[in-house]
């Protein structure tokens, strides 16, 4: 058994009732008697316990850190304090983007446990996309979330004291950062026990990725930026599996990896998961071309995500009263405003390049690394799955080694469409 601090115990469906009943606020929210409450453990992620609790008056979600990586077991210990960082990140995100994350009701530090809003009838977006469901309001919501949380926690909005305090606090989330450093930026490009892929079909791809020194340079440059750049408070695991959604409501969940890092990491990771969904559709349709319209919707969404984020980020920058990184006093008058606007555009262009690089990194890790997406994993035909994955990997390599080949988000979509039209590899 792993050592745990005094007061901590792993919750179960049996012990959770008593734990919740000790706090009147929980009992009031759920209503009725504890014997009336229905509890189900629903965690299907890699890290934590997640319970849904329903009572006569309402429901809530209980999320607790385990002292190990749930995906692997006790052989991979993890610090419990990731629950603290998740609670802090959710509070910051709620402040800047209210109603785009679940509301936190309480954090219990000894139990490393968060009580939060139950989102119903929401489902995990990734599962909805496997089923071919379109979400017409998603792009508007997610671009507001990203622009608000990333701009407002950056040096473009925060004062120096607040920003440095945030960087200092979230630097304590170093163990989860190290996981990201390893499983995204290192392991897929070398021989490692954690790696897996659709063998034998992708064996040659895995070897190519290990031998390709252009890839080694590209991914290492991104890792360097991930290690050293503290632009804003990131969600740091922003993908379609971290989004609960309906046709009319979008909520971002699970920010336990949160830290201050490069803005492009969040943006690129989200776009990468939309790309994975795009290529996976061939494995979910009953007849070739059956999901062409849905692929078009995904492409349109990718365009809307970048363009919407860019527009909203720039709007916040133009309207902010005091910019720490670009003091207003240095840009007074028409000439100053023109120079500042040119710099804003250059900033967003550089951010686009960063985002594409991190997008490429996120694509490779989901196919050759330890943690894969059910978008692809749920394709039963291994040959079909491998063809979807091969196309994804080709895009990944181009984004990692030739980002300059895509100067706009329309170029990215055109690249996807060209890859989709290629012949099967296997």
**pLDDT value, residue 229:** 98
What is the tens place of the pLDDT at every residue in 325-380?
Answer: 999 889 999 999 999 999 999 999 999 999 999 999 999 999 999 999 999 999 99
Contact 233, 166 (CB under 8 A): yes
Band of residue 2 on the pLDDT scale cut at 50, 70, 90: low
**All residues at 6 or more sequence positions from 276 whose CB lies less than 8 Å from its CB, including other chains:** 363, 366, 373, 375, 376, 392
Contact 224, 361 (CB under 8 A): no
What is the tens place of the pLDDT at every residue in 260-307?
Answer: 999 999 999 999 999 999 999 999 999 999 999 999 999 999 999 999
Of 188, 270, 255, 261, the residue nearest 45 (C-alpha) = 255
Band of residue 48 on the pLDDT scale cut at 50, 70, 90: confident
Contact 21, 55 (CB under 8 A): no
Band of residue 390 on the pLDDT scale cut at 50, 70, 90: very high
What is the tens place of the pLDDT at every residue in 49-79?
Answer: 999 999 999 999 999 999 887 777 777 888 9
Q: Which residues make beta-bridge pairs with 63?
A: 50, 114
What is the tens place of the pLDDT at every residue in 161-172?
Answer: 999 999 999 999
pTM of the model: 0.96
Is 205 a residue whose pLDDT tops 80? yes
What is the tens place of the pLDDT at every residue in 76-95?
Answer: 888 999 999 999 999 999 99
Of 310, 273, 264, the residue nearest 143 (C-alpha) = 310
Is 416 a residue whose pLDDT tops 90? yes
């Amino acid at each position: 058994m792993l050592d745990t601090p005094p007061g901590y115990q792993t919750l179960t469906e049996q012990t959770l009732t008593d734990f919740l009943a000790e706090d009147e606020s929980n009992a009031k929210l759920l209503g009725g008697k504890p014997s009336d409450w229905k509890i189900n453990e629903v965690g299907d992620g890699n890290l934590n316990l997640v319970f849904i609790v329903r009572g006569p008056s309402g429901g809530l979600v209980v999320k607790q850190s385990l002292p190990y990586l749930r995906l692997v077991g006790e052989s991979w210990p993890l610090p419990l304090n990731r629950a603290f960082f998740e609670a802090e990140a959710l509070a910051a995100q709620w402040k800047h983007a209210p109603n785009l994350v679940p509301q936190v009701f309480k954090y219990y530090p000894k139990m490393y446990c968060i009580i939060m809003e139950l989102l119903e009838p929401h489902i995990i977006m990734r599962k909805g996309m496997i089923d071919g469901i379109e979400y017409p309001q998603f792009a508007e919501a997610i671009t507001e979330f990203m622009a608000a949380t990333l701009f407002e926690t950056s040096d473009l909005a925060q004062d120096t004291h607040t920003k440095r305090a945030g960087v200092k606090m979230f630097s304590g989330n170093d163990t989860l950062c190290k996981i990201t450093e390893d499983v995204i930026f290192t392991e897929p490009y070398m021989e490692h026990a954690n790696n897996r892929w659709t063998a034998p079909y992708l064996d040659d791809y895995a070897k190519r990725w290990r031998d390709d020194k252009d890839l080694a340079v590209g991914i290492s440059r991104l890792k360097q930026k991930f290690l050293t750049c503290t632009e804003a408070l990131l969600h740091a695991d922003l993908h379609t599996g971290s989004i609960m959604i309906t046709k009319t409501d979008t909520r971002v969940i699970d920010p336990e990896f949160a830290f201050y890092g490069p803005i492009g990491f969040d943006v690129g990771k989200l776009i990468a998961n939309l790309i994975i969904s795009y290529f996976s559709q061939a494995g979910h349709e009953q007849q070739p071309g059956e999901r062409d319209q849905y692929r078009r919707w995904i492409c349109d969404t990718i365009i809307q995500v970048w363009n919407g984020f860019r527009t909203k980020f720039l709007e916040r920058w133009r309207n902010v009263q005091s910019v720490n990184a670009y003091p207003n006093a240095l840009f007074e008058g028409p000439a100053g405003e023109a120079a500042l606007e040119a710099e804003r555009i250059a900033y967003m262009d550089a951010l686009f390049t960063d985002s594409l690089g991190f997008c490429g990194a996120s694509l490779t890790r989901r196919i050759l690394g330890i943690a894969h997406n059910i978008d692809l994993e749920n394709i039963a035909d291994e040959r079909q799955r491998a063809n979807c994955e091969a196309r994804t990997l080709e895009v990944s390599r181009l984004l990692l080694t030739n980002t300059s080949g895509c100067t706009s988000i329309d170029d990215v979509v055109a690249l996807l469409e060209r890859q989709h039209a290629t012949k099967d590899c296997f």
